[in-house]
Amino acid sequence: MIRYKEIFLGNQCNNHCLHCLFRQKNPVKPELQAVINALEQAEEDSVAFYGGEPTLRNDLSGIILAVKRKGFRRIKLITNGCAFSDIQFLLEIANAGCYLFEIKIWGSNPDIHDYLTRTTGSFRQTIQGIENLQRLSCDKFICIRIPMCCQNYKDLEATVTAALCLGINRIILQFQDYHLSLKDVLPHIKNAVNLSILNRVWIVTEGLPFCIMQGLEHHMSEIYYGWDTLFEKVFKHHQYCQDCIYQELCPGVEEKYLEQFGNNEFSPVKETKYLQDILAFHG
Ligand code: SF4
């Protein structure tokens, strides 16, 4: 399991996403020295930078060079990818030593994506950024994160198809809108997972419990990376968890979801062929 030291580079952003989880009223931008200090305290051998939008920092390539000099093995940039529509900027970042990218896409077309980013032209810039990334001759890795919400879930299969057409390496389907019922989104998630499998691109979900993902448990990111993510969540067991074979391993369902929809969509898992593998993986 690769563990990344996650370092916040500030909340400034060139998009204004409707469902942004990091929006704060006042601008926050850690000083370079604070970033260096965070690197020095890192126990991990890999670093992930996130924001806001980390590419808006004019000292980003210097920060990446500093990470390289300190001997970290991997540097990941979590970004909306818009800045990479400028190939010169992208070359500066890649030449500094960053080859891992996680890019968020909200939809398969500008109507949905720009509506959700509330930024006209952002879809075109993000897609151009990914196309520019593909032109790099270095051995890069591109992951696409698709946050699922009420406004885009019917477009999920089309969004995954668009990502696959861009030649990306991995897809994350992130469940983050607690006004969207699992009953509505689940058929789209299953289609999206199968589409990606058929195209031999690894796909994982984030934020969905085992009982919802039955048969696809090995596509849950949590079994590889744990339940802690950049996005603050409070999980809670519900009345059916006590009879579930995953009870020890699974923290339950996001509290906000249970408040909104109750627990009727969940039922305990009584048996699965994956349990022993998953337990062995977690030690
Ligand atoms: S412990 Fe609860 S939430 Fe987790 S998989 Fe089992 S029934 Fe679902």
**pLDDT score, position 226:** 84
C-beta of residue 152 within 8 angstroms of C-beta of residue 191: no
Is 222 inside a domain boundary? no
Is 157 inside a domain boundary? yes
Mean pLDDT by 10 residues, the chain (283 residues): 88 92 77 91 92 95 93 95 98 96 98 97 98 95 97 98 97 94 96 97 96 93 85 89 93 94 94 83 66
| pLDDT single digits (tens) 7-45 | 999 999 999 999 987 766 677 899 999 998 999 888 899
Q: Is 207 in the pocket of ligand 1 (CB under 6 A)?
A: no
Is 234 inside a domain boundary? no
> Residue 71's domain is classified under what CATH number?
3.20.20.70
Q: Is 97 in the pocket of ligand 1 (CB under 6 A)?
A: no
Write the DSSP assignment of 37-62 as a string of letters.
HHHHH--SSEEEEESS-GGG-TTHHH
Is 254 inside a domain boundary? no
Is 36 inside a domain boundary? yes
Q: Is 253 in the pocket of ligand 1 (CB under 6 A)?
A: yes
C-beta of residue 80 within 8 angstroms of C-beta of residue 104: yes
**pLDDT score, position 233:** 83
Number of domains, the chain: 1
Q: Which domain holds residue 141?
A: 4-206
DSSP run (H or E) holding 202 = strand 202-206
